[in-house]
């Protein structure tokens, strides 16, 4: 049974329909900037999903309000931090990002506004992303005398290519949704009022597929950038064989032959 709390101080959870969870960064008064509490909250969510996702089969990550997805780290809270305090907070953010990357449930980022710094790194860390026409993106860290530290230098090149990633990171220049789409950072650009419905439609499709199959496929695709071609294929076959003895495999084939929608139970 999933033991995820019903509420968090900085995160709003919503279950709009069966098997789909919306995780909404909820500090709109500061453009959903991530303070220490939000770092702890988001880390707890991803870690719980790793331990026991319950009946959650797809997650939509978005921001509260209509101006920002996430402005990155809360620089007001960070102002005058000691080196030790900064590194301790960042260690929390690091563990949260690793937990997000390890989350077995697919994560769709629905970028409803500006996604700067760590917010852009959330987008990079999601399985894929949709963006509002008004969304803006930037990895602004070098303009602040630091650098991306939530896997931005690792995930962005995988999305847009090494040369484009260097340009984005080294110049710290913002760019819009259409550029993000053209470069491969987001999969779709939507009108603002169509963003969440579009993400929900996709989440619904994912949630309707075999949950074990989806999780195994997600892991295998993620490993494709980390392993050699032959070793990656061996990993894929291991992931594939995990599904052969499942009830879901039998149900999927049975439903196809009976010309009906399968009723997957994740078993």
Q: Write out the catalytic residue numbers.
A: 121, 141
Buried b (16+ CB within 10 A) or exposed e, 27-43: beeebbbbbbbbbbbbb
- Other Cβ atoms closer than 10 A to 152: 24
56 φ/ψ angles, rounded to the nearest 5 degrees: -75, 125
Cβ contact 147:165 at 8 Å: no
3-state secondary structure of 91: helix
Query: Cα–Cα distances in Å, from 131 out to 22, 61, 170, 221?
Result: 15, 11, 23, 22
Whole-number Å distance between alpha carbons of 150 and 148: 6
> In 74-181, where do the E strands start and end?
107-111, 114-116, 128-132, 136-138, 175-176
Question: Considering only CA atoms, which of 91, 3, 88, 89 is closest in space to residue 44?
Answer: 3
- Residues in the chain, how many? 267
* β-strand pairing of 114-116 with 68-70: parallel
CB neighbour list of residue 87: distance below 8 Å, 6 or more residues apart: none
């Amino acid at each position: 049974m999933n033991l995820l709390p019903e509420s968090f101080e900085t995160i709003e959870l919503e279950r709009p329909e069966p098997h789909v969870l919306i995780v909404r960064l909820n500090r709109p008064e500061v453009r959903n900037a991530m303070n220490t509490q939000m770092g702890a909250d988001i880390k707890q969510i991803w870690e719980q999903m790793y331990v026991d996702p319950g009946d959650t089969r797809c997650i939509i990550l978005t921001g509260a309000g209509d101006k920002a997805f996430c402005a990155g780290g809360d620089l007001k809270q960070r102002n005058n931090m000691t080196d030790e305090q900064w590194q301790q907070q960042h260690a929390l953010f690091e563990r949260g990002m690793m937990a997000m990357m390890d989350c077995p449930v697919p994560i769709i980022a629905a970028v409803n506004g500006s996604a700067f710094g760590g917010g852009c790194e959330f987008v990079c860390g999601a399985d894929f992303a949709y963006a509002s026409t008004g969304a803006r993106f930037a990895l602004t860290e070098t303009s602040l005398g630091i650098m991306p530290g939530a896997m931005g230098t690792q995930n962005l090149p995988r999305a847009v290519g090494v040369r484009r990633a260097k340009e984005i990171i080294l110049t710290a220049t913002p760019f819009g949704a259409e550029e993000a789409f053209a470069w491969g950072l987001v999969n779709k650009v939507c009108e603002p009022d169509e963003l969440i419905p579009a993400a929900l439609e996709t989440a619904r499709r994912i949630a309707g597929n075999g949950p074990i199959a989806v999780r195994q496929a997600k892991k295998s695709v993620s490993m494709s950038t980390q392993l050699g071609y032959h070793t990656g294929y061996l990993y894929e076959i291991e992931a594939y064989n995990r599904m052969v003895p499942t009830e879901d495999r039998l149900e999927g084939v049975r439903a196809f032959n009976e010309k009906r929608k399968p009723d997957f139970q994740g078993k």
